[in-house]
């Protein structure tokens, strides 16, 4: 299969994320139209992901947190385990979007059990992170340290969505207070809402 970069690669899959495993194969996850679960595909090449079997590794709760708006999952390998980072809301407060974490209990993310680690935790001295609408987290490593970047709304009214960064203490907890990374300064970031979201890392 030849990938055509001006054509849809995998239809009906928003917020796509691909990670390369240590064995050279690839995993794909994304938001699905029903926004009620987390899916995963696996293939030897990126091109083969388009036709790879898709499985659901986790399904939303019926009520409470993680019961609606399951968005933007990303899978990362940290400290010897696979983790899935995603955002979700509460069906009784649908825009109370917060970041959550799943952990794979084995080495095969397709067949081994995933467990809930709960919400992503702020650093002990951080009074601000994840207290409002927060989503679209991504993770990267630099010089042996891992960093967490996410979007979070601040202010009143429509609010402003900024990007923040912090160093990670563990795969489920930040180790430093948030630092403002970007805020919507340009006109094209202020159409309807003032928004910086969907961070990605080029290393």
Q: Give the residue numbers annotated as catalytic, written as ranges.
A: 15, 197
- Written as six digits, the tokens of 131 are 């207290």
Give just the sign of the alpha carbon dihedral 170, 175, 177, 178: negative
Grouping H, G, I as helix, E, B as strand and the rest as coil, residue 169 is strand
CA–CA distance, 46 with 48 (Å, rounded to integer): 5
Quick one: how far is CA 86 from the chain centroid?
Answer: 4
Q: Does residue 71 contact residue 31 with C-beta atoms inside 8 Å?
A: yes
Written as six digits, the tokens of 154 are: 């601040």
Q: Specify the pairing of strand 160-170 against strand 194-195.
A: parallel
């Amino acid at each position: 299969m030849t990938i055509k970069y001006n054509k849809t690669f995998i239809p009906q899959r928003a917020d796509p994320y691909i990670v390369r495993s240590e064995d050279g194969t690839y995993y794909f996850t994304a938001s699905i139209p029903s926004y009620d679960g987390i899916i995963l595909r696996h293939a030897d090449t990126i091109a083969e992901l388009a036709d790879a079997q898709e499985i659901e590794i986790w399904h939303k709760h019926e009520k409470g947190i993680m019961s609606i708006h399951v968005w933007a999952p990303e899978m990362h390998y940290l400290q010897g385990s696979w983790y899935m980072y995603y955002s979700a809301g509460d069906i009784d407060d649908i825009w109370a979007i917060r970041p959550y974490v799943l952990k794979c209990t084995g080495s095969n993310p397709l067949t081994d059990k995933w467990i809930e680690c709960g919400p992503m935790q702020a650093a002990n001295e951080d009074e601000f992170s994840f207290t409002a609408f927060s989503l679209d987290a991504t993770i990267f490593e630099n010089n042996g340290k891992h960093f967490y970047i996410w979007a979070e709304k601040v202010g009143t009214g429509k609010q402003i969505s900024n990007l923040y960064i912090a160093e990670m203490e563990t795969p489920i907890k930040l180790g430093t207070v948030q630092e403002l990374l970007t805020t919507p300064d340009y006109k094209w970031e202020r159409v309807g809402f003032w928004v910086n979201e969907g961070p990605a890392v080029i290393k």
